[in-house]
Amino acid sequence: MRWEHLLRQTSDWQGTLWGKPDWADRPEGKTPADWPNRPLRTPGTHYKYNDVRINLLALSTLYVWRKPLPEVLNEKIMQPIGASSTWRWYGYDNSWIELDGKKVQSVSGGGHWGGGIFINAWDLARFGYLFLRDGKWKEQQLISKDWIAMARTGGSANAEYGFANWFLNPGRKALPNAPETAITFQGAGRNVIYIDQQHDLLIVTRWIGNGDELNQLVGKVLAALPD
């Protein structure tokens, strides 16, 4: 299992983390009795959006940085882009570890079970604008262009999913009204950052429906742009 498998949601990791088994998020099988006995796949061959495995990615990253990930995000990204001080990134009551003699909370990657990032629309827009400009803010390259190129490339198991939370639009299948190069970041409740470099366009939506609502919104905005 490699970092790329965790980022592309293709690790098929099996286990329990913070009291939550891997099958707890979007379980497979016809009955609850089937859930713990799911088929095992070779890493990289099967895509499944799974918050337990994203939590594993967060924990692994914590051991690399050796400091709380909210501090890393704040120092490396949120402060340089001028984000507010109101956003919060939470883990769970039991997701604490001892790291270098200190108690540190491992944050969660998704909004399931009470964790995740809580953030306002203005901060989401600034975060999205950073990627509209290929990781550059003013004169500072905050995120590697090489990393962004990998993140916006679909994997072999799912061409519509890049690195963690990069939803792509090959063949304009997900968003028929948008260009193929459009990208979305999506969070629980369907809070969305839409990034469209072809039209130099950034859209932030909050609590939009899970159906065709986003595609309709994008179509209306693009139709309103000057030729």
pLDDT of residue 224: 97
12: in domain: yes
pLDDT digits (tens, 9 = 90+) for 15-41: 999 999 999 998 988 899 999 998 899
**What is the distance between the alpha carbons of residues 208 and 191, in angstroms, rounded to a whole number?**
7
pLDDT digits (tens, 9 = 90+) for 51-103: 999 999 999 999 999 999 999 999 999 999 999 999 999 999 999 999 999 99
102: in domain: yes
Overall number of domains in the chain: 1
54: in domain: yes
Rounded mean pLDDT, 94-121: 93
150: in domain: no
At position 169, the amino acid (one-letter code) is N
Domain encompassing residue 67? 3-119
73: in domain: yes
**What is the distance between the alpha carbons of residues 194 and 197, in angstroms, rounded to a whole number?**
10
pLDDT of residue 114: 86
pLDDT of 186 higher than 90: yes
**What is the distance between the alpha carbons of residues 203 and 225, in angstroms, rounded to a whole number?**
13
64: in domain: yes
Going by pLDDT thresholds of 50, 70 and 90, the confidence category of residue 147 is very high
Rounded mean pLDDT, 135-152: 96
How far from 172 is each of 107, 158, 160, CA to CA, in Å?
A: 33, 14, 10
206: in domain: no
**What is the distance between the alpha carbons of residues 10 and 42, in angstroms, rounded to a whole number?**
9
DSSP assignment of 89-102 equals: EEEEEEEEEEETTE
Mean per-residue pLDDT over the chain, rounded = 95
**What is the distance between the alpha carbons of residues 103 and 14, in angstroms, rounded to a whole number?**
26
20: in domain: yes
